[in-house]
């Protein structure tokens, strides 16, 4: 009998042990894997997870507003507004014709052009329209057009249009101020951006239940209040625009300054530009505020400064007179007058201003030097021009960084190239350059009794929390001229104005209640190759209006006018001054004499 071989029976206990060992191995593998993932690769996976979950947002700070005076209050003249850019992804546009038809009534333009843009190949981003309002954006989004979207962006908005655009400057696409107040006050206007670091869900919404979220609130920029008076600025701009057209000038600029504070209430140039469309300006020169960037040889308005210096030094008195030879020979050159080339006999200081005698200004310089132009005369006039009237130095006005020109004042030291002739020229307004701002600030320091106030465009700065910091008048120099000399200059300017009324300029008559004075300048223009243009002049004017005392100083630079009768100063500078002065009397409450 065959006996079947006995089956090999595994002991159940043994089997259990095998399974147990197997499970232990598997469990061990899991443990090792988890250890690898969670300990060894900890940094990698944490970073990978956070890159999906942790979002970091920069919260832009609102740029500060710019305000200006209007009536008894202030109004914003530069604000922020969120506008929208309409874009499309041509790849996702399935029905360009229908999409274009939907968009056209909102964004304008032709349907065919829009359709063409929607079918642009090789790109996934086409800008269809910029600066849409929120209503327009919402309407477009409500159509839920595939491949079409809008994105918001803050823009500077100018409710007064192009008013004072060159004073204001603009903000570029990077959010930085350029030119004007926007650049000069950029750090105050910009504020400080905030930050949000947060773990978010799949919708990008920050999870509240995490301690890792960091929120730093943005700090909005300060509100900058200008000294500019909106109504006055608008009228000055209108006046110089009219002069620009009438005189067929290259540029016209004017400034109205409060003589007792240095505050600028109007500062205008024409031509100008629209700051909301600065990117469309083809000539970048238009961005510059010529009243601070464009120094010229100012011409005979300088005689006021020469007279003030000579009076202060005691070299002349208001009633002094001299025998006018008609011309002087200095350093081998002839210095003569613009209109008169022969002796007029005895001439007074008032005659020098009224007839704008270059020989008279040169004579005053000679008197400072004791009867001749010498180092004392040159050094003294240089000292007054440079250290009293601050010519040849930037004023520090709050305009774009490096935008302001300091002009040019020659050294009084003998350089062997006709220095006496140079300073004779300086005495009547040639051979040196100054901006309109330098001239009006200098004359203000004489008119107010002898204090040079730093010119300012900033009235106050208001923090987002409402803290107001007033900008106080900054007296740079308190002994520009003695009070008596101030009175003498005011009187001479007033008498000069009275003479002009009788000489055929009745519009300079402001009646008995106001004091008005001024001086014309017909300035020669230097040619690049040397010498002066024979038939091209700048018309300038420096004057004041007030009641008991001068209240406003006014400067006019009419650059290269080509349409006028006789003298650029009298025909193109003086009328602009008169119109501005009348406007101030009529609309801005110049305090009449009491």
Partner 1 sequence: MTYSSTLALGRQQNLSRGQNSVTFRVTDKRLGPVSNTIILIVLACLLGLLYLTQVTRTNTYGYQINNLQQQQSQLQQQHENLTVASAREQSVSRTANSNTAQAMTSVNPSGSVQQ
Q: Got the DSSP string for 126-179? A: EEEEEEE-HHHHHHHHHTT-TTEEEEEEEEEE-TTTTTTHHHH-EE-TTS-EES
Q: Which is nearer to partner 1, 221 or 575 (CB)?
A: 575
Helix (H, G, I), strand (E, B) or coil at 43: helix
Residue 329's contacts (CB-CB under 8 Å, 6 or more residues apart) are: 335
Q: Measured from the CB atom, is 345 or 506 closer to partner 1?
A: 506
**Out of 50, 205, 217, 468, the residue judged to bind partner 1 by CB under 8 A:** 205
Q: Please tell me whether residue 582 binds partner 1 under the rule CB under 8 A.
A: yes
Asked if residue 267 binds partner 1 (CB under 8 A), the reply is no
Q: Do residues 358 and 350 touch, judged by C-beta distance below 8 A?
A: no
341 binds partner 1 (CB under 8 A): no
In angstroms, give the least distance from the CB of 47 to partner 1. Answer: 23
Nearest to 358 by CA among 326, 314, 385, 322: 326
Q: Does 175 bind partner 1 (CB under 8 A)?
A: no
DSSP-based three-state secondary structure for 345: strand
Taking CB under 8 A as the binding criterion, the range among 19-27, 315-323, 370-378, 583-591 that sits at the site for partner 1 is: 583-591
Nearest to 241 by CA among 569, 520, 507, 580: 580
Using rule CB under 8 A, residue 276 touches partner 1: no
Residue (164 or 424) nearer to partner 1, CB: 164
Measured on CA atoms in the order 559, 563, 568, 572, is the torsion positive or negative? negative
* Positive/negative CA dihedral, 237, 240, 245, 249: negative
What residues between 41 and 70 interact with partner 1 by CB under 8 A?
Answer: 70
Does 585 interact with partner 1 (rule: CB under 8 A)?
Answer: yes
**Least distance in angstroms from the C-beta of 194 to partner 1:** 13
CB-CB contact of 306 with 361 (8 Å): yes
The minimum distance between CB 578 and partner 1, in angstroms, equals 5
Contact predicate 467/397, CB 8 Å: no
**Shortest CB 267 distance to partner 1, Å:** 16
Please state the closest distance from residue 142 (CB atom) to partner 1, in A: 15
Which window, 36-44, 230-238, 292-300, 381-389, contacts partner 1 (CB under 8 A)? 230-238
> Whole-number minimum distance, CB 585 to partner 1, in Å?
5
**Stretch of residues binding partner 1 (CB under 8 A), selected from 204-212, 303-311, 323-331, 391-399:** 204-212
- The span from the CA of 182 to the CA of 164, in Å, is 12
Sole binder of partner 1 in the list 116, 415, 586, 591 (CB under 8 A):
586
Question: Cα–Cα–Cα angle for 536, 441, 75, nearest 5°?
Answer: 105
CB of 451 to partner 1, least distance (A): 29
Neighbour count for residue 333 (Cβ, 10 Å): 14
User: Is residue 82 part of the contact set for partner 1 (CB under 8 A)?
Assistant: yes
CA atoms within 13 A on the CB side of 147: 24
Q: CA geometry: angle at 57 spanning 56 and 62, to 5°?
A: 160
Q: Is 467 left (phi over 0), alpha (psi -120 to 50) or beta?
A: beta
Q: Which stretch binds partner 1 (CB under 8 A): 41-49, 241-249, 304-312, 474-482?
A: 241-249
Q: How many CA atoms lie within 13 A of 252 on its CB side?
A: 29
Residue 308: which region, alpha, beta or left (left: phi > 0; alpha: psi -120 to 50)? Answer: alpha
| Residue of the chain from 66, 148, 243, 315 that contacts partner 1 (CB under 8 A) | 243
Among 53, 136, 153, 160, binds partner 1 (CB under 8 A): 160
Q: How many helices (H) and strands (E) does the chain have?
A: 19, 23
Q: Which stretch binds partner 1 (CB under 8 A): 114-122, 207-215, 373-381, 405-413?
A: 207-215
Contact call for residue 340 and partner 1 (CB under 8 A): no
Q: How far apart are CA 390 and CA 449, in angstroms?
A: 16
**Position among 38, 98, 110, 133 found at the interface with partner 1 (CB under 8 A):** 133
Q: Which letter does DSSP use for residue 225 in this model? A: E
Is 163 a binding residue for partner 1 by CB under 8 A? The answer is: yes
Closer to partner 1 by Cβ: residue 196 or 394: 196
Q: Is 242 in the site for partner 1 (CB under 8 A)?
A: yes
**Residue 202 near partner 1 by CB under 8 A:** no
The one among 121, 208, 319, 332 contacting partner 1 by CB under 8 A: 208
Helices (H), 399-549: 419-427, 436-447, 483-502
Q: Contact letters (x/-) for partner 1, 472-511, by CB under 8 A? A: ----------------------------------xx-xxx
Q: Under the criterion CB under 8 A, does residue 346 sit at the interface with partner 1?
A: no
Asked if 32 touches partner 1 (CB under 8 A), the answer is no
What is the b/e burial string over 108-126, where b = at least 16 CB atoms within 10 angstroms of the residue's CB? eeebeebbebbeeeeeeeb
Which segment (173-181, 206-214, 273-281, 384-392) binds partner 1 by CB under 8 A?
206-214
Shortest spacing between CB 181 and partner 1, in angstroms: 17
Shortest Å, Cβ 83 to partner 1:
10
State which of residues 66, 100, 230, 542 lies at the interface with partner 1 (CB under 8 A).
Answer: 230
In this chain, which of 21, 29, 207, 217 binds partner 1, going by CB under 8 A? 207
Closer to partner 1 by CB, 553 or 576: give it.
576
- Residue from 80, 120, 336, 495 that binds partner 1 (CB under 8 A)? 80
Return the number of other C-beta atoms located less than 10 Å from residue 140's C-beta. Answer: 22
CB count in 10 Å sphere of residue 32: 10
Which secondary-structure segment (H or E) carries 61?
Answer: none
How many of the other CB atoms lie within 10 Å of CB of 486?
A: 23
CB of 317 to partner 1, least distance (A): 33
- 159 touches partner 1 by CB under 8 A: yes
Min dist. Cβ of residue 572 to partner 1 (A): 9
- Interface residues with partner 1 (CB under 8 A)? 70, 75-77, 79-82, 133-134, 157, 159-161, 163, 201, 205-209, 230-231, 234, 242-243, 246-247, 506-507, 509-511, 575, 578-579, 582-583, 585-586
């Amino acid at each position: 009998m065959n006996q079947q071989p006995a089956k090999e029976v595994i002991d159940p206990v043994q089997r259990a042990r095998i399974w147990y060992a197997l499970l232990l191995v598997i469990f061990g593998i899991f443990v090792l894997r988890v250890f690898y993932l969670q300990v060894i690769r900890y940094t990698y996976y944490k970073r990978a997870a956070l890159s999906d979950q942790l979002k970091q947002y920069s919260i832009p700070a609102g740029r500060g507003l710019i305000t200006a005076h209007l009536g008894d209050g202030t109004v914003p003249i530069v604000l922020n507004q969120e506008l929208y850019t309409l874009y499309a992804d041509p790849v996702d546009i399935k029905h360009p014709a229908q999409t274009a038809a939907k968009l056209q009534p909102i964004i304008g333009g032709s349907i065919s052009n829009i359709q063409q843009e929607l079918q642009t190949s090789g790109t996934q981003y086409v800008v269809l329209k910029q600066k849409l309002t929120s209503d327009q954006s919402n309407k477009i989004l409500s159509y839920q057009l595939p491949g079409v979207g809008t994105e918001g962006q803050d823009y500077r908005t100018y409710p007064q249009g192009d008013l004072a655009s060159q004073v204001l400057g603009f903000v570029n696409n990077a959010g930085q101020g350029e030119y004007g107040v926007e650049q000069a006050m950029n750090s105050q206007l910009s504020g400080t951006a905030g930050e949000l670091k947060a773990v978010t869900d799949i919708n990008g919404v920050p999870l509240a239940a995490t301690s890792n979220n960091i929120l730093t609130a943005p700090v909005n920029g300060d509100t900058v209040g200008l000294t500019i008076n909106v109504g006055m600025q608008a009228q000055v701009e209108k006046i110089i625009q009219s002069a620009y057209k009438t005189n067929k000038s290259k540029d016209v600029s004017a400034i109205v300054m409060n003589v007792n504070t240095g505050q600028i209430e109007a500062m205008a140039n024409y031509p100008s530009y629209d700051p909301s469309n600065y990117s469309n300006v083809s000539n970048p020169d238009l961005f510059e505020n010529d009243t601070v960037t464009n120094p010229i040889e100012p011409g005979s308005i300088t005689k006021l400064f020469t007279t003030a210096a000579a009076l202060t030094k005691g070299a002349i008195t208001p009633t002094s007179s001299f025998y006018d030879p008609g011309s002087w020979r200095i350093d081998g050159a002839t210095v003569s007058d613009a209109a008169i080339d022969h002796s007029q006999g005895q001439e007074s200081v008032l005659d020098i201003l009224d007839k704008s005698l270059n020989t008279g200004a040169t004579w005053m310089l000679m008197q400072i030097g004791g009867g001749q132009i010498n180092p004392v005369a040159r050094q003294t006039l240089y000292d007054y021009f440079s250290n009293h009237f601050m010519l040849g130095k930037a004023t520090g006005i709050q305009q774009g960084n490096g935008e302001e020109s300091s002009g040019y004042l020659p050294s009084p030291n003998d350089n062997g190239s006709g220095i006496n002739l140079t300073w004779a020229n300086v005495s009547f307004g040639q051979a040196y350059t100054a901006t309109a701002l330098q001239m009006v600030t200098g004359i203000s320091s004489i008119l107010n009794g002898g204090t040079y106030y730093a010119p300012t465009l900033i009235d106050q700065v208001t923090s987002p929390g409402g803290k107001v910091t007033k900008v106080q008048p900054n007296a740079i120099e308190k002994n520009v001229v003695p009070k008596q000399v101030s009175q003498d200059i005011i009187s001479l300017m007033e008498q000069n104005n009275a003479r002009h009324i009788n000489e055929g300029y009745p519009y300079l008559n402001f009646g008995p209640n106001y004091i008005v004075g001024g001086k014309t300048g017909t300035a020669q223009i230097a040619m690049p190759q040397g010498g002066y243009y024979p038939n091209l002049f700048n018309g300038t004017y420096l004057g004041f209006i007030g009641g008991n005392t001068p209240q406003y100083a006014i400067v006019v630079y009419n650059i290269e006018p080509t349409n006028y009768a006789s003298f650029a100063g009298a025909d193109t500078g003086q009328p602009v001054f008169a119109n501005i002065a009348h406007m101030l009397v009529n609309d801005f409450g110049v305090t009449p004499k009491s």
